[in-house]
Amino acid sequence: MLVTLSLSAATLATVPWLVVALFGLLALGLLAYATLTVEVDAENVRVRFGIGLIRKSIPLSDIVRCEIVRTPSWWGWGIHWTPSGWLYNVSGRAAVRLEMTSQRPLMIGSDEAERLKAAIDARLAPPAAETMA
């Protein structure tokens, strides 16, 4: 499907910056939402879209439950509220759903949902008890 943008000479003469502004908005949207990066460290799960303008940090101490879910296709992509909680997603339907003590549930879409869940579970597990000598 080919989409063309056609503006009259009068429109271009009146608002010459219109085309540049439209392409600028498209480029900003692409940079802001093109990728989703998730990092799990000793204290937080960090979610960052694109170049980092949109980000969220969830303390591991706040997470009560972590599970893999499959989102319906009509829930789409981006950041939005769903019947199962907030969804952060850029592709696919696999997600990790986090239930927390202080806020509503959150789902993080991932092509590697099993790996993400394993990383979070490893940080949530209490350290093995050391034996006293």
pLDDT tens column, 107-116: 999 999 999 9
Quickly state the pLDDT bin for 2 (edges 50, 70, 90): low
Give the pLDDT of residue 41.
94
Q: Is residue 44 part of a domain?
A: yes
Q: Is residue 107 part of a domain?
A: yes
Q: Is residue 9 part of a domain?
A: no
Alpha-carbon separation of residue 83 from 44, 87, 104, 115, 132 (angstroms) = 25, 10, 11, 25, 48
Question: How many structural domains compose the chain?
Answer: 1
CATH number at residue 112: 2.30.29
Single pTM value for the model: 0.75
Q: Is residue 14 part of a domain?
A: no
Q: Is residue 26 part of a domain?
A: no
Q: Is residue 81 part of a domain?
A: yes
Q: Is residue 46 part of a domain?
A: yes
CA distance 57 to 21: 32
Give the pLDDT of residue 130.
53
pLDDT tens column, 58-93: 999 999 999 999 999 899 888 999 998 999 999 889
Structural domain span for residue 38: 31-124
| Run of H or E including 48 | strand 44-49
